[in-house]
Amino acid sequence: MTKRQTILRAVVIGLVVILATVIADGVLARMHLSWLAWVIDVGVALLLTIGVWGMFGASSPLFGGVVDGSRIQRSVAALTFDDGPSPDTTPKILDALKAEGVRATFFVLGKHAEQYPEIVERIVREGHELGNHGYDHGILAFAGPAQVHRQLHRTERILKQSGAPPVRVFRAPHGFRSPFVSSTARRLGYATCAWSAGVFDTAKPGADVIVKRSVKALKPGAILLLHDADGWGSDDRSQTAEALPAILDAARSEGYELLTMSEIAALDPPKPISWRRLAIVATVIVVLAAIGLARVDRGEVTAIFDTFRSLSIPLLILSLIANFISVAFKAVIWKASLDSVPGVKAPYRAVVPAIFVGFLLNTVLIARLGEVGRMVVLRKRLAKDGQDVPISTMTATVVMEQLVLGITLAVLLVAMVFSVDGVPDWAGRGTLILLGVVLAGILGVAVVEIISRWRLQRGDVAEDYARTWWRSTLRTIEFHLHAVSRGAQLLRRPWLAIFSFSAGILSWVAQIIGIYLALAAFNIDTHRVAAACVVFLVSNLVGFIPLVPGNLGVFQIAVATALSQAFDINFGAAVTFAIGLQVIEVALGAGLGFVFLSLAGLSFGDVRRTISRTEEEEAGVRIGPPPVVSDVRGGALGT
């Protein structure tokens, strides 16, 4: 089973469990057993959370103790290489290790050891440790004891045929484990190993980046996860071999002794979880949560479900389609921005999945990370096609796309607020408030500058802090202006620009239509066109300041308050509509985003870590000589 198949199966199982819980809730509510329904709800939520942690957490002790070096205090670390051996990379890695007299652990795949037994012999001959990584890199998250036994035993037999001594360490592919993996491995004499830091060398970020990540991850007991082959194909791992000498130099200079995994395991043996303690903690959580939730009137919850059951399914489907079209038009704008950059060929089959992944990440993370996340996904997809698009260029296209959407949104809001009958006056004032905030920001900068000049003239300070702040700010502004300049190539192609702005208008119009259809589905008839416009305005205003992931709670309160105040709609009905609207807007976009994320072989953790590295790269691009400012004292902008 592949990684994406594993994730999809886990999602399906989770959805089935949630559906069964909802059905059980309905039955128990009618039997006047609300307290039991809450107990089941909290218990299922806790069970799913713990299950995901145990299955997908490489260092999780839930399904058996693992070697992760977390309790080691000495300056020791381990280098581990997964998925080999390979004739292209493994010998180079062995050469570098031999030159420095360092031993490492190679978690080999049986299928590769079967192909290259001479490399396995060299690994053993030069004093390194062999680890079992299964035969074919099959994911073991849903594996039973027999399947785990086959993977380990088949690889063990191949290694013995190559003259290897008994292998005593094992690492599950991707660290995913079912409840049977560690126990079966332990019966076969293996210690299950995890890692403390994934270097993500498989993304091929460059040897210098691999070195930087590895050195940053060094700490007492550190276990670095590197790769000397591709578990699924024949992807290049030469950057890892190129980076290894510098990693070894850094480890030696920082005083670290590099050990094998068996030596790490001797210092920090696997420690299984205390099931008794876990059961006590879980029981306490369930009981306390159920007692607290029991104060909630289950009848109100049932009333909300009754409202949802009375919805117009055809109108809901049309609303979903309208929201899909809205997101798709955003992909059209981004594609046009990418097409305007010379040398970049981004097909829709790469852009559309990335834009939906961004939509998903905007739902579960803050919006900024969602935009960076879709760049990460698109860059990875284009890299497979042989296109290495710089982060600055990718940023430029996103900045241009956001600029087009911002301009079209402003035009549409002004036209909507002052032309649609029934839109309250405060909506127009809200639009003007946004302009006021921008002007206030400019005024604040001016005040800082004036105060700085005044203090310098009086001689109160020895350093021009405003100038220092301006230097830093101007570097950032320069970076973003450069990005806008690159992205502005779109505006230099009139027909492409017209096409993009038209797509922007259509994207927002499709969103308004989706809101209108949702209002109709919820049987809200009061000034429906005006109400749709107000909801559109409020949702976008709230979106400018993402207080929590997906603005969950904030969105519902803002929309419900606006509808109840402007159109005298019952607040409870307005809240129910707001919940339903967010479900509609998220369901299709985020659902497709999750599918595309899984098909790309990525998890949320992968994307979060890659986002962090991308932001570091982006920040590095901004670093450079300070912008040209006056040397005359008397203000950062003084000339």
Quote the CA–CA distance of 19 and 182 in Å, as a whole number.
31
Q: Which residues of 111-144 are buried (b: 16+ CB within 10 A; e: fewer)?
A: ebbbebbebbebbbeeebbbbbbbbebbbbbbbe
Tell me, yes or no, if 149 is annotated catalytic. Answer: no
Residue type, 332: V
For 428, the enclosing helix (H) or strand (E) is helix 425-458
Q: Which of 84, 119, 104 is nearest to 234 (CA)?
A: 84
Whether residue 371 contacts residue 614, with contact meaning beta carbons closer than 8 Å, is answered with no
Alpha helices in 488-570 (DSSP H): 494-521, 528-543, 554-567
Tell me, yes or no, if 235 is annotated catalytic. Answer: no
Q: What one-character DSSP code corresponds to residue 320? A: H
For residue 429, what are the CA distances in angstroms to 135, 425, 435? Answer: 66, 7, 10
Tokens describing residue 392: 């600055």
Catalytic residue among 128, 133, 227, 527: 227
Quote the CA–CA distance of 361 and 367 in Å, as a whole number.
7
Angle at alpha carbon of residue 564, lines to 561 and 568, rounded to 5°: 165
Q: Which residues of 203-236 are buried (b: 16+ CB within 10 A; e: fewer)?
A: bbbebebbbbbbbebbebbbbbbbbbbbbeeeee
Q: Mention every residue, 6+ apart, whose C-beta is less than 8 A from residue 334.
A: 351, 355, 397, 398, 401
Quote the CA–CA distance of 328 and 564 in Å, as a whole number.
31
CA 434 to chain centroid, in Å, comes to: 30
Which residue carries 């995890």 as its tokens? 194
Q: Which of 470, 467, 479, 469 is nearest to 623 (CA)?
A: 479
Tokens describing residue 366: 């803050």
Quote the CA–CA distance of 229 and 236 in Å, as a whole number.
7
Angle at alpha carbon of residue 231, lines to 225 and 235, rounded to 5°: 95
Quote the CA–CA distance of 374 and 402 in Å, as a whole number.
13
Quote the CA–CA distance of 196 and 69 in Å, as a whole number.
7
Catalytic residue among 25, 41, 68, 82: 82
Catalytic residues: 82, 227
